[in-house]
Structure 1
């Protein structure tokens, strides 16, 4: 019976690793950099303006 318990540990670890692997490699929505780049362009334009 103790041998079965020791065999369950790697089995559960393999199942956990498989679940984690499938979660980690899932397809995610790709965010575009458009809004961030627009904000950075506005920031640079504001910094380049000269004060009177």
Structure 2
């Protein structure tokens, strides 16, 4: 009975490692797509602010 108990330790560790590796290698939805969309929004906001805040020419 003691030998079976000692055998459960590496089997349990193997199962935990398998679950962890499948979780670590999962496909993630976020990444470059979300970052590029955020950059595009930032660029649009900067262009919009720049276009609105240009000072009028002073007649000197």
Same fold judged by TM-score > 0.5? yes
CA distance in 2, matches of 1:9, 1:50: 70
Q: CA deviation at 1:38?
A: 2.5
Q: CA deviation at 1:24?
A: 1.0
In the superposition, the TM-score normalised over structure 2's length comes to 0.57
1:36 counterpart = 2:38: yes
Aligned length: 50
Q: CA deviation at 1:29?
A: 1.8
Report the counterpart of residue 17 of structure 1 in structure 2: 17
In the superposition, the TM-score normalised over structure 1's length comes to 0.63
Report the counterpart of residue 5 of structure 2 in structure 1: 5
Identify unmatched segments of 5+ residues in structure 2.
56-60
Larger Rg belongs to: 2
CA distance in 2, matches of 1:34, 1:21: 28
